[in-house]
A and B are shown apart, each in its own frame.
Chain A
């Protein structure tokens, strides 16, 4: 299993902080018996049953609760359902820690829906209902995948395996009104290339963790765009090999008492020579009570590389506001226009604009 922190160097060790726990209503074995592939799920349940729910320091999960039964999301997609997947062992093969192991296992064990795609081509996935789901995408060739979620509650895992020399363009648009826990794992084989544009709009509490493992000469570019009037906590983790390129270029807009937490972990092991790594994130704070936190970290054991990170925040620059107001726009109108431009600077589908407008209304 891929874990975010491997804090060991020779005979030295560092402490890996474990979150405090919270007692929540939890699902049990009885629920599994009524779901497909129950033996596969029961096998995972052995690890799950003794684990507690985390209460994160920055994204306090107190007050959230699981629905009485796992909600049945309804996917509209041209891909297969997860229950029709030929080999669910891919889930075990590409296993990862995510934002917290408890939630990764929860989605893998108690999912009621999800998508399974193997091959190349264009895939679209829409989901407008609350959901606990797990998804597998094995990309072999050139593929474009567009996914949209619009709902109150979602706990989800996605695993993307991008085969040797393959290319993937992935777009995720998400609007979460209440609770979202999204764990995404990318495994890039040799020379694989991925461009990932993600718009995450939230009025509630969202924890998203993106894990990337890259084989030799693979390349990944992530352009996260985050708008939050709730609390959104995102983690981008990568562990790299020779000649990797890994770039995260994030924009955030924190509005209406919102809070954005950006975490970056670049774990560069000995031998990952000639790599090129960067992560940067800038957040606009739209009003007096909006906040931003950032922990962009680098863990490096290789000297032959280029690695950098940056994080910053500011209100909307006065000169930009003044310019728009001089053209006849009201103050609030000007703020929204600038924030929209800041979030929608990458080539998203039309739905993206609707999500942003809804939050900044």
Chain B
């Protein structure tokens, strides 16, 4: 408690200071000194400091987005930009801090599965605190490490791909990210390598008013295949946290990446993450996400189908509950001929929450033979909630075939009553209906994540019924 108070005082005073607590470095506020301090603490090369300072200048000029939730509650001067936990990097599970293990426990990951977590990059606040890449990855030439290590060991590779498809000029939060980014994962899968198990990362905000700006780069080289699973969480604090991570994915010729996200930020988090993938010829990119958490979200994973015959598959489910305003969706850009995409979204609004599905599908001139299907379904569990659907289709190529459909699904009181008349409680009845509705995403997940989602659904329903 004392630590929390000291941390709070530190960022309220807006003074850069070092605290001798479990957190080694705590930097609140947003200015050139803070940005330089982060770069210095992380012992970064000059080119990275230059990116940070350039991004900061861009951020100062950028305005809030002209759509989506209002964001005036974000106080950038109070956001703690960087905090490195006291825990040192470890290579064995036993040395991982107890609070991180507890977080995994809460996610419902069984004991037996933890052994497999040797492939996990778990990030507490801004720093990767646990990193154990299996020997088999080394043998296959797979690079899977934290971003700081990647900058030190593979500077040319990082420099080539860092903020190239999400440049700081993209929008305000990309610029903020460029200035303050910290932590994240770097994955390179060499040509022709098929990664034998899902790679997993887990991000967590663990300080009041903490900003989480992790940067993840994934490169799946020609003919390679990988599955990447990302989880994120944060305890509930009385002040708002800001998450403005960036994920950049490069799927090379004939390669395939399946990227799964389980988002369960606490309901004090502004989730302003940017995820983007560029897919070369014959490549396949799959974004699969399940979203439960955050206070306000603006997240639209994007795919740029750059190579001929490339394909994108985006499946998302979201559950928006009490005190949540979630504006999420996806963007797919067809640039090359014979590209295909399918977008499928399912959202549930309940307990007064406001869920918005937003999509952008663009078939560029020259993307001959492009085909796309966009489908979204929303369900309202009660009349205190709101569900909006705002897709945008831009068809600039005649020789293309595009279809979009959306509908508001209906779960009537009679259906719930029917299940209750068969002996189920209200919570069980609603949970059963929602699980069935979310099945398309749940069935894509490894068992432990499917269990986690089922638990999260039960928790949300329980919360809404009180």
Residues of A within 8 A of B (CB): 9-10, 12-15, 17, 270-271, 283, 285-315
Contact = CB atoms under 8 A, between A and B. Distances in A.
Interface residues of B, number: 45
B404 A295 contact: no
A15 B68 contact: yes
Given A301-B386, A306-B408, A293 B393 contact: yes
Contacts of A271: 383
Contact of B406 (A15, A290, A309): A309
Ranked 6 nearest A-B pairs via Cβ = A308-B407, A303-B380, A310-B405, A285-B398, A312-B403, A307-B408
B342 interface: no
B325 A302 contact: no
B395 A291 contact: yes
B100 to A, nearest CB: 33
B378 A300 contact: yes
A313 B373 CA distance: 11
B278 interface: no
B408 A298 contact: yes
B69 interface: yes
B402 A313 contact: yes
A303 B410 contact: yes
Contact of A296 (B66, B67, B68, B391): B391
A297 B390 contact: yes
Given A13-B70, A303-B412, A306-B410, 13 more contacts: A13-B69, A14-B356, A283-B395, A285-B398, A293-B393, A294-B391, A295-B392, A297-B389, A303-B411, A306-B408, A308-B405, A309-B405, A313-B393
A283 B398 CA distance: 10
Contacts of A17: 66-67
B418 to A, nearest CB: 16
24 contacts: A14-B67, A14-B68, A14-B69, A14-B70, A15-B64, A15-B67, A294-B391, A294-B395, A295-B390, A295-B393, A297-B391, A300-B387, A301-B385, A303-B408, A307-B408, A308-B407, A309-B406, A309-B407, A310-B404, A312-B402, A313-B395, A314-B400, A315-B398, A315-B399
A301 B395 contact: no
Contacts of A283: 395
A281 to B, nearest CB: 10
Contacts of A290: 398
Interface of B: 64-70, 296, 325, 327, 352, 354, 356, 378-383, 385-396, 398-408, 410-412
B49 to A, nearest CB: 34
Given A293-B392, A295-B391, A310-B405, A304 B410 contact: yes
A295 to B, nearest CB: 5
Nearest to A287: B398
A204 B256 CA distance: 45
A288 B365 CA distance: 9
Contacts of B411: 303
Contacts of A315: 398-400
Contacts of B327: 14
Contacts of B67: 14-15, 17
Contact of B392 (A13, A14, A289, A294): A294
A14 B381 CA distance: 21
A269 B6 CA distance: 47
Nearest to B64: A15
A300 B393 contact: no
* Majority-rule SS of B interface residues: strand
Contacts, number: 134
A310 B390 contact: no
A311 B393 contact: yes
Contacts of A304: 383, 410, 412
Contacts of A296: 391, 404, 406
A10 B352 contact: yes
B382 A303 contact: yes
A236 B204 CA distance: 44
Contact of B403 (A14, A302, A310): A310
A235 to B, nearest CB: 13
A200 B122 CA distance: 58
Contact of A305 (B70, B400, B404, B408): B408
Contacts of A310: 403-406
A155 B352 CA distance: 42
B372 to A, nearest CB: 10
Contacts of B69: 12-15
A52 B464 CA distance: 46
B401 A314 contact: yes
Nearest to B404: A311
Contacts of A308: 405-408
B395 A9 contact: no
Given A299-B388, A307-B408, A12 B395 contact: no
B386 A300 contact: yes
B70 A15 contact: yes
Contacts of B381: 303
B403 A9 contact: no
A147 to B, nearest CB: 30
Contacts of B65: 15
Contact of A303 (B354, B356, B383, B401): B383
B328 to A, nearest CB: 13
A288 B381 CA distance: 45
A270 B383 contact: yes
Choose among B296, B327, B383, B386 the residue with the greatest number of A CB atoms under 10 Å from its CB: B386
Contacts of B410: 303-306
A6 to B, nearest CB: 11
B413 to A, nearest CB: 9
Nearest to A308: B407
A337 B73 CA distance: 58
B386 A314 contact: no
Contacts of A270: 383
A249 to B, nearest CB: 14
A313 B400 contact: yes
A211 B356 CA distance: 23
B405 A288 contact: no
Given A298-B406, A308-B406, A285 B395 contact: yes
Contacts of A313: 393, 395, 400-402
Nearest to A286: B398
Choose among A10, A13, A299 the residue with the greatest number of B CB atoms under 10 Å from its CB: A10
A299 B359 CA distance: 15
A309 B410 CA distance: 15
Contacts of B407: 306-309
A282 to B, nearest CB: 9
Contacts of A10: 352, 354
A340 B352 CA distance: 48
Contacts of B296: 12
Nearest to A12: B325
A314 B397 CA distance: 9
